[in-house]
């Protein structure tokens, strides 16, 4: 079975440029999560979707960040404009939840390693 | 408030010895706790979970203990191997998605 697939795996971009990270969740999963990982803050939840609907985006740092899930098999996280402090590993994860995103194992992708210079 | 914390940021263990990684939590509403392992350059990988109505759960070489009285969770790895070297995260889930601790780095000394 294919796990959560993320692209790109690595990206180096200049400050001010737009960055788009992509995610394909595990087929059949109904919840999708975007996490950011840094040495200072650890793993932070940015936003999560249930049945393609954004449920909580309170973790999104600011208006420069946006996420979409146009269908059950695809999601994007966009940063525009990017800043050096956005440099981090961005993980997408998915799970199969009966009702709400609690109590079920979350499966992570391999991450997108972003460096903004 | 909701938080998951770790007692030790790093742990060095001799190969073959048992490892114990500890985690404290503050939110009593948690109904599900999970341990993840993250190897260098990879995403977190599920190891074992435990529901709040349990005190202990065993897997292959791993055991998770839950002490709700003191809000403490531990992961025990038996006969630690070099492949166990990684960062281990505890996470809790309740009515909101997983909240992760900062992680403990386990280094296995050959």
Q: What is the mean pLDDT of residues A81-100?
A: 87
Nearest CA in chain B to A105: B46
Q: Do B44 and A108 touch (CB under 8 A)?
A: yes
Note the pLDDT of residue B4. 55
DSSP structure class, residue A14 = -
Does A41 score more than 90 pLDDT?
A: no
Question: For residues B43 and B19, what is the distance between their CA atoms, to the nearest angstrom?
Answer: 22
Nearest CA in chain B to A113: B41
Note the pLDDT of residue B94. 67
**Residues from chain B contacting residue A10 (CB–CB below 8 Å):** none
A98 CB within 8 Å of a chain B CB: no
pLDDT tens-place string over residues B40-87: 999 999 999 898 889 999 999 999 999 988 989 999 999 999 999 999
When CB atoms are compared, the residue of A103, A105, A111 closest to B31 is: A103
Confidence class of residue B98 from pLDDT cuts 50, 70 and 90?
A: confident
The percentage of chain A sitting over the pLDDT mark of 70, rounded to a whole number, equals: 93
Helix (H) or strand (E) holding A113: strand A112-116
Joined tokens for residue B18: 């048992």
B52 CB within 8 Å of a chain A CB: no
DSSP structure class, residue B82 = G
Q: Which strands sit side by side in the sheet containing B72-77, from one edge to the other?
A: B4-6, B19-25, B72-77, B62-67, B56-58
Write the burial class of residue A70 (CB in 10 Å: 0-12 exposed, 13-18 middle, 19+ buried).
exposed
Question: For residues B26 and B72, what is the distance between their CA atoms, to the nearest angstrom?
Answer: 9
Measured distance between the N- and C-terminal CA atoms of chain B, rounded to whole angstroms? 40
CB contacts under 8 A, B 64-93 vs A, are 89, 93
Question: For residues B98 and B27, what is the distance between their CA atoms, to the nearest angstrom?
Answer: 12
Return the closest-CA partner of residue A49 out of A7, A88, A106. A106
pLDDT tens-place string over residues A65-89: 999 999 999 999 999 999 999 999 9
Confidence class of residue B100 from pLDDT cuts 50, 70 and 90?
A: confident
B107 CB within 8 Å of a chain A CB: no
Return the closest-CA partner of residue A79 out of A66, A62, A89. A66
């Amino acid at each position: 079975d294919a796990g959560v697939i993320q692209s790109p795996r690595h990206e180096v971009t200049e400050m001010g440029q737009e960055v788009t990270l992509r995610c394909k969740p595990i087929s059949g999963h109904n919840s999708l999560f975007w996490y950011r990982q840094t040495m200072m803050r650890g793993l932070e939840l940015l936003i999560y979707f249930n049945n393609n609907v954004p449920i909580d985006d309170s973790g999104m740092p600011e208006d420069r960040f946006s996420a979409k899930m146009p269908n059950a098999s695809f999601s994007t996280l966009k940063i525009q404009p990017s800043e050096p402090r956005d440099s981090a590993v961005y993980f997408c994860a998915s799970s199969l939840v009966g009702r709400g995103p609690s109590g079920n194992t979350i499966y992570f992708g391999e991450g997108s390693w972003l460096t903004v210079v | 408030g909701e938080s998951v914390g770790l007692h030790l940021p790093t742990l060095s263990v001799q190969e073959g010895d048992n490892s114990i990684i500890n985690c404290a939590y503050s939110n009593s509403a948690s109904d599900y706790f999970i341990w993840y392992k993250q190897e260098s350059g990879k995403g977190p990988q599920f190891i074992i979970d435990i529901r709040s109505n349990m005190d202990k759960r065993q897997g292959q070489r791993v055991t998770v203990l839950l002490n709700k009285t003191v809000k403490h969770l531990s992961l025990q790895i038996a006969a630690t191997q070099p492949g166990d070297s990684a960062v281990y995260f505890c996470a809790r889930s309740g009515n909101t998605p997983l909240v992760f601790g900062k992680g403990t780095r386990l280094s296995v000394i050959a």
